[in-house]
Amino acid sequence: MAILSDVATEVLIPIAAIIGIGFSIAQWVLVARVKLAPSQPGASRSKDGYGDSLIEEEEGLNDHNVVAKCAEIQNAIAEGATSFLFTEYQYVGVFMSIFAVVIFLFLGSVEGFSTKTHPCTYSKDKECKPALFNALFSTVSFLLGAITSVVSGFLGMKIATYANARTTLEARKGVGKAFITAFRSGAVMGFLLASNGLLVLYIAINLFKMYYGDDWEGLFESITGYGLGGSSMALFGRVGGGIYTKAADVGADLVGKVERNIPEDDPRNPAVIADNVGDNVGDIAGMGSDLFGSYAESSCAALVVASISSFGINHDFTGMCYPLLVSSMGIIVCLITTLFATDFFEIKAVKEIEPSLKKQLIISTALMTVGIALVSWLALPYKFTIFNFGEQKEVTNWGLFLCVSIGLWAGLIIGYVTEYYTSNAYSPVQDVADACRTGAATNVIFGLALGYKSVIIPIFAIALGIYVSFTIAAMYGIAVAALGMLSTIATGLSIDAYGPISDNAGGIAEMAGMSHRIRERTDALDAAGNTTAAIGKGFAIGSAALVSLALFGAFVSRAGVKVVDVLSPKVIIGLIVGAMLPYWFSAMTMKSVGSAALKMVEEVRRQFNTIPGLMEGTGKPDYANCVKISTDASIKQMIPPGALVMLTPLIVGTLFGVQTLSGVLAGALVSGVQVAISASNTGGAWDNAKKYIEAGASEHARSLGPKGSDCHKAAVIGDTIGDPLKDTSGPSLNILIKLMAVESLVFAPFFATHGGILFKLF
């Protein structure tokens, strides 16, 4: 028996979640202390650092105007982001309702909508609850996951748009103050999302248990809908937000920087507000929903496998909740880690920003390793069995500790490799920048080569993680390895959300006409955020690969597939089609960004040509029109890629059966991971190569010319090509591979009973 009792487990999980929510509220209160109102003349300065001397005062600038302008710009960004998300959620709400009905009808029809109990799938001697109620509870958990995902994304966006101008104002007092404001705001989102995800899942399990009683097989099978709901919302959030942000970004860069030679975020550029709105809806709301989806799915995959292992058979609630206890420990560990960045060590210089963010990853990983050891020792019996394709495999508690730790450390390796290939502190990006000497073509060639090369080490890390964790604990090992990678999700998301907040802060400083010294500070915050955002994407892709494989294993078990034979024609056609899907999906998303950007470029050009005095700064651009173009394009264009991902498993499973669907899932996983990593890193490298030239921090960078030189223009073109790769196609692909796998698992009972219609006919 485990040391930790069932009662203790029932108390500890919600307490950890509530502590996380409390901590995020505390961070928000601290951010709110930065006032978006001009300080009163002659007001005494406080001792707590919230009223240090300002650069503007030293330079004799008018404080009133600057603060009022910041508040006005922040308002415009917040309004744009809120109206886009509301529009997006209306469309997504319609989809959600239709898909909920599909889940109910498909799963209900497994036993012909019978209300009678039936023999369990894995334990034939036991009776399980009727299929109709499984369908009902799966639908409810799907809606729960979807709503939690939407709320997570929306709250993240609200916090980011609340904090961006406050970060700009704090930058007047020093880079350390601005960093803390941006990081705390990121932490609000990170902890809210991790804690909400855990709490809602835990409450759902306990409510469902009141109906299911001892039928844990049915209970945890219906809980998988939670992961499906989370990921399907993330898909639309990622694709819609990605198209929005990149259409605006590409339009603003091509006309503003390349044609008109004006700086980034110049208030004369009509697309500048849409660009800043895009950072919030794509990188914050989209990323939040994406990582929530990964977290929900890895938890569901682990719970499904555990329910048919000794934990489920013996009704060992503490052992069953091992994945949730790991996540609870993660919240506490991340809370301690966050204090290192905001309270224990103060940042005094620009060069300390990036190391401070990277330390967050190392500290959280090291502390989490100890946390996992503690949870494995307290919550697991010394020996237990895990379901392994029809067999029960004996596993020890230290074996599971090893599985979770391997996922955790593989995540760190992927993060660091991503950073090496995308940060301008290292040679790969500097080589890409150097290639700009001979124009955009060589820049593009070098960037593509860098992206392909950056796939090598992450794939070896994932492969090693899969081999070791599968050898120790079969598919359950892979599921908890994925959970290990995501166990420090609160810190990962804090670092991730910090980037777009800093980016917005820089934009606001430029638009409000603040001193160049403030812009330098916000640029330094943004450059560090860019690299850490690439690290976050690496984590998301790596965890998606493991999650998808764990879900694939659970699907194969549930669908009654004994072996997936690659030489079978049914499987091989699935493999080839599955491997093609990431390319089809990427083509759709890239083309969507291209056509939306085309409209944006035409609109920005039109305004520069027709609004008198716009270039001189006396005319006012029509920001709202650009926001509308981005919104309309992204809403319309997110539907086809979303439909491709959601309908593929349903069509393949129903018409061709579970063998072909197994092939499709395996093919999509294998090719999707490679395409996603290379796309994200290529785009990240081009972006930072451009920033390397702009910053001119080294002799080499200065030799490549100032802003506006031919070399810089070549770098801007590379960055523009990379935008849809790193912020639309790349990040959305990890949702494609997870979502198809979790959807197949949810519909597995239907496919096993009624699937393969075509092969039955011929």
How confident is the model at residue 363, as a pLDDT?
A: 92
- 3-state SS track over 325-381: HHHHHHHHHHHHHHHHHHHHCCCCCHHHHHHHHHHHHHHHHHHHHHHHHHHHHHHCC
How confident is the model at residue 54, as a pLDDT?
A: 56
How confident is the model at residue 57, as a pLDDT?
A: 46
How confident is the model at residue 58, as a pLDDT?
A: 43
**Quick check: 323 pLDDT over 60?**
yes
How confident is the model at residue 55, as a pLDDT?
A: 52
Question: What confidence tens digit (pLDDT) does each residue in 293-313 have?
Answer: 888 998 998 999 888 888 888
Asked whether 278 and 246 are in contact (CB, 8 A), the reply is yes
**Quick check: 263 pLDDT over 70?**
yes
Q: CA–CA separation, 535 vs 364, rounded Å?
A: 15
At 146, is the secondary structure helix, strand, or coil?
helix
How confident is the model at residue 472, as a pLDDT?
A: 93
Residue written as token pair 């409810």: 140
Question: What confidence tens digit (pLDDT) does each residue in 112-121 have?
Answer: 788 888 777 7
At residue 345, φ and ψ (nearest 5 deg) are -125, 130
Query: Which band of pLDDT confidence, cut at 50, 70 and 90, is reported for residue 62?
Result: low
Q: CA–CA separation, 485 vs 491, rounded Å?
A: 12
Query: Which band of pLDDT confidence, cut at 50, 70 and 90, is reported for residue 39?
Result: low
At residue 391, φ and ψ (nearest 5 deg) are -105, 165
Q: CA–CA separation, 158 vs 174, rounded Å?
A: 25
Q: CA–CA separation, 382 vs 403, rounded Å?
A: 15
Question: What confidence tens digit (pLDDT) does each residue in 714-754 have?
Answer: 999 999 899 889 888 988 898 999 999 999 999 998 998 88
Average the pLDDT over each of 344-358, 384-398, 483-497 and give the range with the smallest value: 344-358
Mean pLDDT, the chain, rounded, equals 88
Q: CA–CA separation, 603 vs 405, rounded Å?
A: 51
Q: CA–CA separation, 554 vs 303, rounded Å?
A: 10
At residue 614, φ and ψ (nearest 5 deg) are -70, -45
User: Any residues with CB less than 8 A from the CB of 97 and at least 6 apart, and which?
Assistant: none
Q: Give percent of the chain with pLDDT exceeding 90.
A: 48
**Quick check: 41 pLDDT over 60?**
no
At 620, is the secondary structure helix, strand, or coil?
coil
**Quick check: 469 pLDDT over 80?**
yes
Largest CA distance in the chain: 88
How confident is the model at residue 573, as a pLDDT?
A: 95
> Which helix (H) or strand (E) covers residue 96, if one does?
helix 63-108
**Quick check: 658 pLDDT over 90?**
yes
- Report the DSSP beta bridge partners of residue 530: none
How confident is the model at residue 180, as a pLDDT?
A: 92
Query: Which band of pLDDT confidence, cut at 50, 70 and 90, is reported for residue 36?
Result: confident
∠ CA 307-309-311 to the nearest 5 degrees? 70
Strands 383-388 and 127-128: unpaired
Share in percent of the chain as helix, strand, coil (round to 5)? 80, 0, 15
DSSP code for 259:
I
Q: Which of 588, 624, 678 is nearest to 242 (CA)?
A: 588
